[in-house]
């Protein structure tokens, strides 16, 4: 089989694996790992390997985030870093790989966040949140830097840029920096007005502020209603975002 044929075979296999990954998370992780191992030792050009390894990392990370398994998240992160090493900053793929690395780092930090248990008060969960943010501050700084670089890039595709700003907003919100988070959720929507996740996060952030009773709550409530309506309107866009990392690369580059 020539290199183009080999590339397209792996590519189609990964697309099919991505489509059914949610059916069996552990099996999908194992399958993607096996494909990544085969791609690593193949004779494909470096750029082609980077595309395929990025796709493998996306599948593995999506499964790992559902499983909340730090070892699998680290596995997906390592694949994204290997894919990143074969790219340059003038390529959109460079920023998709950066996004995967930052997303992995963020999720590793978030494993230690307190669970949302009905009936608990702020006094119950806030000390654990503060402790987690202090322990993971160096890693969170790295993730923020990467997300900001991706979101600010004129080369990255609009979906990846918007998702990066949205995730940066999440990090800031979880660290108590809600005003900065608000700005980055807005920037996410400016980059891609169909990012329903950003609209929903804006609504949730504003709802939390209303609950504190601090500030101009009447104005905040009006803005909250706006973003609740927008998030509901963009529900399909929200669902599309869940698989955007792989879906955006569905036209194979020349090998």
**Could you tell me the CATH number of the domain that includes residue 252?**
1.25.40.10
Asked whether residue 140 is domain-assigned, the answer is yes
pLDDT of residue 229: 57
CA 62 to chain centre: 9
- Give residue 168's domain range: 118-255
Q: Residue 116: what are its φ and ψ, rounded to 5°?
A: -80, 100
Name residues whose C-beta falls within 8 Å of residue 250's C-beta, 6 or more positions apart in sequence.
15
pLDDT of 231 higher than 70:
no
Single out the residue in 67, 86, 105 at which a domain terminates: 86
Under the banding of pLDDT at 50, 70 and 90, the label for residue 191 is: very high
Number of domains in the chain: 2
Q: What is the pTM of this model?
A: 0.81
Is the same domain home to 230 and 130?
yes
Identify the weakest region by mean pLDDT among 23-27, 117-121, 165-169. 117-121
CA angle 173, 175, 178 (to 5 degrees): 35
- Is 5 found in the same domain as 52? yes
Confidence (pLDDT) at 252:
41
DSSP state of 213: T
Asked if the model's pLDDT at residue 168 lies above 50, the reply is yes
- Let me know: does 95 contact 147? Beta carbons within 8 Å: no
Residue 79 banded pLDDT, cuts 50, 70, 90: very high
């Amino acid at each position: 089989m020539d290199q183009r044929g080999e590339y397209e075979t792996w590519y189609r296999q990964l697309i099919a694996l991505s489509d059914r990954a949610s059916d069996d998370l552990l099996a999908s992780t194992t399958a993607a790992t096996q494909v990544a191992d085969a791609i690593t030792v193949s004779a494909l050009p470096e750029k082609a390997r980077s595309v395929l390894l990025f796709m493998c990392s996306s599948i593995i990370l999506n499964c790992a985030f559902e499983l909340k398994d730090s070892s699998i998240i680290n596995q997906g992160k390592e694949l994204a870093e290997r894919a990143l090493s074969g790219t340059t900053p003038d390529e959109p793929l460079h920023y998709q790989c950066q996004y995967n690395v930052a997303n992995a780092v963020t999720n590793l930090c978030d494993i230690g966040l307190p669970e949302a248990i009905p009936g608990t008060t702020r006094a119950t969960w806030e000390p654990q949140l503060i402790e987690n943010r202090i322990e993971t501050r160096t890693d969170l700084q790295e993730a923020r830097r990467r997300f900001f670089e991706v979101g600010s890039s004129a080369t990255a595709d609009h979906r990846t840029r918007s998702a990066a700003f949205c995730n940066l907003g999440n990090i800031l919100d979880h660290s108590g920096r809600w005003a900065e988070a608000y700005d980055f959720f807005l920037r996410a929507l400016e980059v891609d007005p169909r990012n329903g996740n950003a609209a929903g996060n804006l609504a949730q952030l504003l709802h939390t502020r209303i609950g504190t009773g601090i500030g101009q709550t009447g104005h905040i409530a009006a803005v909250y209603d706006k973003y609740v309506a927008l998030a509901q309107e963009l529900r399909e866009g929200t669902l599309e975002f869940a698989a955007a990392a792989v879906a955006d690369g569905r036209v194979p580059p020349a090998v």
